[in-house]
C-alpha cells in the first residue's frame, strides 16, 4: 500500500506530528501540502493541518479538495484543548472539505500558539470578542508545551492503528 503523509505547518507544530508519523511509517512519502505530487499513485493519504478559524488552514483546504475518493486519515494541531467541542468541530469541518470524503480516522492535539498572535490578542480592546481573559491565557500556557513527547508517541500509535484499520477494509 503506497502512502503519502502531506502536511501544512506555519510554525512547526504540525510538521513535528508529520515527522513522527514518518518515523512510524517509514515507507510512506512525506511532503508539505504545497508540493504534493501526483496523487494517483497513493492508496492512502495522511493529511495534516493546523486549525485556522475553526477549519483546516487555507492551503490544507486546497489539498483536501483534491483527495476525493481516497482513504484519508486526518491529523491536526490547534490552540484549543483536543477534547473540546471546537476541536471536534474543526476536524468535522476539515473532513467536509474532501469531496466524497472517506475519512478513516482522525487525530488532534494542542500546538503552541504563535507568540506574535498572542501579542496581537493581548492588545485587543476588552470589549473585542477575541480579547483574552484568564481562561484564554491559561489555554495559551497549556498549549505552549505541545506537541510534546506524549503527543508524538500518541500520533505514531494512532497512525499505525489507522493504517491497520484501512488495510483490514481492502
Ligand X SMILES: Cc1cc2nc3c(=O)[nH]c(=O)nc-3n(C[C@H](O)[C@H](O)[C@H](O)COP(=O)(O)O)c2cc1C
Scan for cell 484568564, then name that residue: 134
Kindly state whether residue 113 participates in binding ligand X, applying the rule CB under 6 A. yes
Q: CA dist 16 to 58, 119, 152, Å?
A: 19, 24, 8
How many residues sit in the footprint of ligand X (CB under 6 A)? 21
Q: Which stretch binds ligand X (CB under 6 A): 109-117, 118-126, 129-137, 150-158?
A: 109-117
Is residue 114 within the footprint of ligand X (CB under 6 A)?
yes
Distance of alpha carbon 53 from alpha carbon 59, whole angstroms: 13
Least Å distance, CB 40 to ligand X, is 27
14 touches ligand X (CB under 6 A)? yes
Output 13 or 106, the one with its CB closest to ligand X.
Answer: 13
Measure CA 14 to chain center.
Answer: 6
Rounded to a whole number of angstroms, the minimum distance from the CB of residue 69 to ligand X is 27
Amino acid at each position: 500500500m503506497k502512502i503519502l503523509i502531506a502536511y501544512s505547518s506555519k510554525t512547526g507544530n504540525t510538521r513535528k506530528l508529520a515527522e513522527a508519523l514518518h518515523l512510524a511509517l517509514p515507507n510512506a512519502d512525506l511532503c508539505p501540502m504545497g508540493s504534493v505530487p501526483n496523487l494517483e499513485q497513493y492508496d492512502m493519504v495522511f493529511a495534516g493541518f493546523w486549525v485556522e478559524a475553526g477549519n483546516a488552514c487555507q492551503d490544507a483546504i486546497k489539498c483536501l479538495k483534491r483527495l476525493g475518493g481516497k482513504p484519508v486519515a486526518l491529523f491536526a494541531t490547534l490552540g484549543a484543548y483536543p477534547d473540546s467541542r471546537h476541536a471536534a468541530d474543526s476536524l468535522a469541518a476539515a473532513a467536509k472539505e474532501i469531496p466524497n470524503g472517506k475519512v478513516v480516522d482522525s487525530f488532534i492535539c494542542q500546538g503552541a500558539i504563535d507568540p506574535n498572535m498572542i501579542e496581537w490578542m493581548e492588545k485587543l480592546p476588552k470589549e473585542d470578542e477575541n480579547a483574552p481573559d484568564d481562561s484564554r491565557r491559561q489555554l495559551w500556557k497549556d498549549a505552549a508545551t505541545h506537541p510534546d513527547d506524549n503527543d508524538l508517541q500518541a500520533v505514531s500509535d494512532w497512525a499505525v492503528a489507522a493504517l491497520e484499520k484501512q488495510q483490514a477494509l481492502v
